[in-house]
């Protein structure tokens, strides 16, 4: 099956007497996870000691299904254990709040369609200052 194509399926029962009539056709869209978002970057006008502004663009391919929302995760630069900040962002920017002044944070981003989450974006490191 090819992503982006809608396929029709129907079934028929068969036994020793014969075959039934066909069922109604069910249409199913073949899709896959979207590509990871790209160009995750700092919005300097929003970033301060306690928050970081982020913006991004969609990956090249949406998986043959529109992107529903985005998930932003972060961690302090000395850790590799990410915390999900939000998993329901519907715009291509957000502000991560509640950060500690003078700390450097790593951010990753994923997009989601009806199939699921994309791979992670390229990590971006930003100083909360």
Tens of pLDDT, residues 62-104: 998 999 999 999 999 999 999 999 999 999 999 999 999 999 9
Structure tokens at 47: 């970033």
CATH number at 81 reads 2.60.40.10
One domain for residues 40 and 3: no
Q: Which domain holds residue 68?
A: 33-127
Q: What is the tens place of the pLDDT at every residue in 21-34?
A: 999 999 988 889 99
Domain count, the chain: 2
Nearest one of 72, 65, 66, 62 to 126, comparing CA atoms: 72
Question: Is it the case that residue 3 has pLDDT exceeding 80?
Answer: no
pTM: 0.81
The pLDDT > 90 percentage for the chain reads: 91
One domain for residues 74 and 107: yes
One domain for residues 21 and 65: no
One domain for residues 101 and 41: yes
Is residue 72 within 8 Å of residue 99, measured between CB atoms? no
Cα angle 68, 72, 102; round to 5 = 155
């Amino acid at each position: 099956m090819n992503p982006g194509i809608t396929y029709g399926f129907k079934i028929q029962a068969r036994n020793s007497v014969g075959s039934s009539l066909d069922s109604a056709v069910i249409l199913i869209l073949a899709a896959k996870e979207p590509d990871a978002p790209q160009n995750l970057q700092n919005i300097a006008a929003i970033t301060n000691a306690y928050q970081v502004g982020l913006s991004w663009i969609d990956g090249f391919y949406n998986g043959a299904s529109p992107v529903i929302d985005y998930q932003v995760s972060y961690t302090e630069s000395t850790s590799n254990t990410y915390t999900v900040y939000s998993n329901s962002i519907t715009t291509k920017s957000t502000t991560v709040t509640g950060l500690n002044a003078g700390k450097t944070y790593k951010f990753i981003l994923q997009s989601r369609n009806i199939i699921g989450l994309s791979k992670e974006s390229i990590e971006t490191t930003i100083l909360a200052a």
